[in-house]
Structure 1
Amino acid sequence: MIRHLDLSGFSTCGLQKSSSSIQKVITPDLLIHILRSFPSLKAFSISDTLESVITLDVLKVLFLECKNINTIDFCGCSTKQFGIALEEFSGFIGRVKIIQQFDDNDEEMVTFNMNQKPLLSHVQRLSLHECPVISECSTIIPLLAHAPNLTHLDLGGCSVGDLTLTFLGVGTNAPTTLSHLLLAKCKNISSSAIASFVFKCSQLETLNLYGERDIATAIAECDLMTILCSPNAKNFQTLDIGSSQITPMILTAIKENCLSLKNLGISRAQISNISLIKDLLSVMTNLQYIDLTSIPCFNPLNTNNLFTTITKNNHPIQSIEMSESLLKKLCAIDGWKINFNYGKRWYYARETHDFFKPEMTHSRKLDITESGPECLSKIFQYYSFGV
């Protein structure tokens, strides 16, 4: 019995066929037939290698006929054709009327109106990871409106702004249902909007805000404090705030409020004293992974001392991501070896566990099927661990 239809790994490489001839083999009609042949299907995944077969008719069958599907992943679909198909579908199911007004104090007020009942209440997990072509107002917000019961949402790399988070907070059940949220590389969302929305989410366990942000778009210290002092912070299992304004005060807030963390990303933290990192690790005894990339306090002389302290204190951490430029100057120390993945992400990892793969520890993409890194297609592994 087929539960998960994963077409993300399909590739034309080696088939000695042109793209046009492949499209004659893998057609929208064939995909529709496949979807209708598996009534028990619960998850569907596809990537940019086959996005040309995603048409309005395919989306109608996928979203509206396959009522058992609760997980849909469109990772990397970025062509204009895909964006048009999804926009047509959102128009078919019914859009949200967005009214933006200003009060007497020139503060913006936004209201949302949708006359239709939600048609996608069965969809609980949705990934639009690295789908930048999708319109926020005419496509993404209508999809979210019709799928009010999401538990897993990946909008990493999408062209979304504050409006999307405002709608999620007032127009869906997201504040009480979301357990996994990824907003990595969403440069158009303001720091305050992220903090305001995350504070409302009572069930969050995974929060990924990793960014390649400049100073103007970084998540501010005060907004990080709002997130870290929220009631749900104690439930965090994975937290990545890399490239945010991470100061000593933020490290203190993590130590005091996020003791359940297993994965932590604090790359580019504004920390100049390595003892603050040591103090953090001494308290975070559940950590399995930490990202310490591009933190100014590390250099070839004091890094060895950090690992000596970790080994001496029997800390359970297994993998530490660090800067390539730093690790190229170092070597294996105190039972740790250097690993790297796709030549982009570099790690110190313990030598003791042959089955442990540090290059597949902390994902930049949300694994919404929770199948684990080994079961992901190569293209999903790349989006997850190679960038």
Structure 2
Amino acid sequence: MDRTITSPVVGRPNHLRRSSKLKQSPIPNLHDKMDQPESTTPPDKSTRSSFSSVREVDSEIAQNFTSTKVSSYSQSAEEAIEDRPSPLEMATTQTQFVPPVTRPNSKLQGCWFPAVAAEGFQGWKQIGVKGRQASKSYGDLQALKIVWSTPATPEKKKDPERPPPGLSPIERLPAEILGQIIDHLVLDVPPNGVSARNVDLMSLLLTSRTLHSATLNALYKNITIPHSRIFRKFLSHVSQNQELGTIVRRIDFSHFNPTTLFSTASERATTRNLTPETLLQCLELTPFLREFLAQEYVEDELSADVLRKLLFGLERLQGLDFCGCSSTSFKNAFQTIISSDWPDNLGITRLSLHKCITLPASVFETLLPRLGSLTHLDLAGTRVTNEALQSIPHNARITHLNLAKCRLLTADVVIDFLANHPAVQELVFLSLGVDARSHQLFDEDDLTKLIPVLPHTLRSLSLKGGKMAPSHIDLLRPLTKHLEELALGRRLKISDIDRLFIPDESKDGNLEEQLEWVPQTLKYLDLSDYTATELDFISLFGRDTYIMKKLSSPLEVIEITDDLYTRLAKSPVVKLLGWTVTENGSRAWLVRLHEPKDGPRDSGLRSWKMGASFWGMRKIPIACAEVGGMYGSYMFKRKL
């Protein structure tokens, strides 16, 4: 059954609540205004979606999101309405029929004439005089259903150049290309959460056999479940036509909201749309499933049988995401299957247990040694141990690793793992961030040992919360020649950070270092460990500081802390210096304004982001898809 949500604020953890400082921004968010209804009446329950639903917005300003209590998918532009009257409406509203006195039920002997109050009547007035204009009275009479015959349908001459059925140019395209074309027409999530979707694609199902097959594949390949009624509808279809279940490759609950249709738990329990039993039935009917994306709103439906099916019963499953699942029932279900007979190797290549904070260490010690094909691993905020981390098979090839806020890990084991374990020698994304207010993983000596052993394949690195020293800048400089995202630890000064962007001045007049200087590649710099007193306005935009100048290009986004955002948002000087400020949830950024003369702005799309187009993601994506819903909240709205 769907999970109960008590209150948008009370029912969410503290890190989901928006800081009051960020709400005082004098700069309005245009997208938030667009998301707000014009009327003051509360939104209907059917239009509500996941609280804290976040979706990326493609605009000229980077780091721009829609983030409202109503999902960004719940409101869309209204379709244009044709306001010209149809012939029937014209005839019935602008004319009046007077029946004969002797036969009041007869329309044959009565009289039609323009209504007295009708102005601009366009019916019989259009009848031509002396042949100057063709009469349109027949069309008016036909609309009134009182004509005695129907016009003969003219025969269409067959075009000799028209290809025979099944041989048109679009039908001769390869199935892969035709599928890519139709994929652009697929709407995964309904515009208002409950209305029909993909209505336009229904006509393609009736066009030809080739288009019918390609359209079915596009409709059923990736299934997004925003609420339980769509899940029930999908389950009914694949139950009646089990061939459709063989098309399904992804089941996505990232946009799921249990309160979209039902406001109380009792209503949801009565309907029994999404339950552990129906979810297990769904998995049985989709044998070729490759990606299963869950989140905290479906955690109570992830029973032991469902987990057993996902881990052991789907041979082709590659991506598995349990983001935010931390309920007691979810923990008990995992502990139940630990005693099962596990195979020596699992085929899962991408696994996310992001913020599954209740899972015991025994789960990781049982699961990780069997992931020999692993490429993506997100264990942020979990109880993974040193032994479980070291037990990852050597034949794994991990490119994305998130160990943020893993308190049971120690610095020496993490350093040894990154330096010597064969599975992590080609890392692209690595997050080792912690909240320095409650935990510290790396001190100065640890970072001195860690930074030199990091692979040169890295594109994103987070050392947030680490205790840094000026000497670490020299160690970081080689990494900045290929890194695009960098989150720095604390205790550095502006002058230290500045050295990442410019060469050191030679005291003896030797210009060799300046001439051999290789520009950095950073697009995103996370300075959210530094308060407003450490990164004050004068030092940040000072004459001797290069971070905010064009010399720091291609640097585009700088993440800042809440108190600094509040101060900068009130200053008009920021925009004059070529920057602006934006925020989302508990995070805030300085964003460089794009100038048209510099060409099109970098959209931020990278293959290693797997569909995310903005900088500084906290969660590793498990499927190549547009980021939104609850995943958008975990990825771009939370500090860690």
* Among 78, 81, 84, the residue aligned to 2:326: 78
In 2, the alpha carbon distance for the partners of 1:81 and 1:161 equals 22
* Among 354, 360, 369, the residue aligned to 1:135: 360
In 2, the alpha carbon distance for the partners of 1:308 and 1:49 equals 45
Structure of higher RCO (CA pairs closer than 8 Å, 6+ residues apart): 2
- 1:124 is displaced (CA, Å) by 0.6
* Among 368, 384, 405, the residue aligned to 1:144: 368
Query: What is the aligned partner in structure 2 of residue 341 from structure 1?
Result: 584
TM-aligned CA distance change 1:319 to 1:56, over 3 Å: same
Query: What is the aligned partner in structure 2 of residue 302 from structure 1?
Result: 539
In 2, the alpha carbon distance for the partners of 1:215 and 1:248 equals 23
In 1, the alpha carbon distance for the partners of 2:618 and 2:385 equals 20
Query: What is the aligned partner in structure 2 of residue 15 from structure 1?
Result: 261
Aligned length: 352
Equivalent residues of 1:3, 1:41 under 8 A apart = yes
Query: What is the aligned partner in structure 2 of residue 326 from structure 1?
Result: 564
Query: What is the aligned partner in structure 1 of residue 481 from structure 2?
Result: 259
For residues 45-56 of structure 1, the aligned pairs below 5 Å read 45-56=293-304
* Among 101, 113, 118, the residue aligned to 2:344: 118
In 2, the alpha carbon distance for the partners of 1:284 and 1:51 equals 47
Query: What is the aligned partner in structure 2 of residue 101 from structure 1?
Result: none
- 1:206 is displaced (CA, Å) by 1.0
TM-aligned CA distance change 1:257 to 1:22, over 3 Å: same
* Among 457, 469, 473, the residue aligned to 1:235: 457
The structure with more strand, counted as a fraction of residues: 1
Counterpart check, 1:37 vs 2:285:
yes
* Among 311, 323, 333, the residue aligned to 1:63: 311
In 2, the alpha carbon distance for the partners of 1:188 and 1:293 equals 24
Equivalent residues of 2:480, 2:520 under 8 A apart = no
- 1:39 is displaced (CA, Å) by 3.1
Q: Which moved more, 1:74-83 or 1:256-265?
A: 256-265
Residue type of the partner of 1:293?
S
* Among 264, 270, 290, the residue aligned to 2:491: 270
After superposition, the C-alpha distances for 1:24-62 in whole angstroms (9 at most, x for unaligned) are 220122212222333332111101101111111111221
Structure 2 counterpart SS, 1:22: helix
After superposition, the C-alpha distances for 1:99-120 in whole angstroms (9 at most, x for unaligned) are xxxxxxxxxxxxxxxxxx5241
TM-aligned CA distance change 1:45 to 1:307, over 3 Å: farther
After superposition, the C-alpha distances for 1:239-270 in whole angstroms (9 at most, x for unaligned) are 00100112112221110345210100014x21
Structure 1 counterpart SS, 2:425: coil
Structure 2 counterpart SS, 1:129: coil
Equivalent residues of 2:426, 2:455 under 8 A apart = no
Equivalent residues of 2:501, 2:547 under 8 A apart = no
Q: Which has the larger radius of gyration?
A: 2
TM-aligned CA distance change 1:66 to 1:284, over 3 Å: farther
- 1:360 is displaced (CA, Å) by 4.1
Structure 1 counterpart SS, 2:481: coil
TM-aligned CA distance change 1:284 to 1:6, over 3 Å: farther
Equivalent residues of 1:229, 1:257 under 8 A apart = no
- 1:93 is displaced (CA, Å) by 3.0
Equivalent residues of 1:149, 1:173 under 8 A apart = no
- 1:310 is displaced (CA, Å) by 4.2
After superposition, the C-alpha distances for 1:334-372 in whole angstroms (9 at most, x for unaligned) are 221000011x1110012227885899421111112243x
In 1, the alpha carbon distance for the partners of 2:299 and 2:415 equals 34
In 2, the alpha carbon distance for the partners of 1:177 and 1:256 equals 24
In 2, the alpha carbon distance for the partners of 1:245 and 1:382 equals 28
TM-score, normalised relative to structure 2? 0.52
Equivalent residues of 2:546, 2:552 under 8 A apart = no
TM-aligned CA distance change 1:89 to 1:370, over 3 Å: same
TM-score, normalised relative to structure 1? 0.84
Equivalent residues of 1:205, 1:237 under 8 A apart = yes
- 1:307 is displaced (CA, Å) by 7.3
Contiguous gaps of at least 5 residues in structure 1? 95-116
- 1:125 is displaced (CA, Å) by 0.7
* Among 21, 25, 36, the residue aligned to 2:273: 25
Structure 2 counterpart SS, 1:188: coil
Query: What is the aligned partner in structure 2 of residue 114 from structure 1?
Result: none
- 1:13 is displaced (CA, Å) by 2.2
In 1, the alpha carbon distance for the partners of 2:541 and 2:399 equals 37
After superposition, the C-alpha distances for 1:208-230 in whole angstroms (9 at most, x for unaligned) are 01111358633122222332211
Equivalent residues of 1:129, 1:158 under 8 A apart = yes
In 2, the alpha carbon distance for the partners of 1:163 and 1:182 equals 17
- 1:82 is displaced (CA, Å) by 0.3
Equivalent residues of 1:228, 1:258 under 8 A apart = no
- 1:329 is displaced (CA, Å) by 1.6
Query: What is the aligned partner in structure 1 of residue 419 from structure 2?
Result: 199
Counterpart check, 1:351 vs 2:593:
yes
Query: What is the aligned partner in structure 2 of residue 288 from structure 1?
Result: 523
Structure 2 counterpart SS, 1:218: coil
* Among 403, 418, 421, the residue aligned to 1:183: 403
Equivalent residues of 2:617, 2:636 under 8 A apart = yes
Residue type of the partner of 1:133?
T
Instruction: Percent identity, please.
Output: 24
In 2, the alpha carbon distance for the partners of 1:156 and 1:215 equals 15
Residue type of the partner of 2:628?
S
In 2, the alpha carbon distance for the partners of 1:157 and 1:289 equals 23
After superposition, the C-alpha distances for 1:184-237 in whole angstroms (9 at most, x for unaligned) are 11122111111111112211111101111358633122222332211x521111
Q: Which moved more, 1:195-204 or 1:274-283?
A: 274-283
In 1, the alpha carbon distance for the partners of 2:296 and 2:442 equals 30
Query: What is the aligned partner in structure 2 of residue 155 from structure 1?
Result: 379
- 1:8 is displaced (CA, Å) by 2.4
In 2, the alpha carbon distance for the partners of 1:304 and 1:65 equals 58
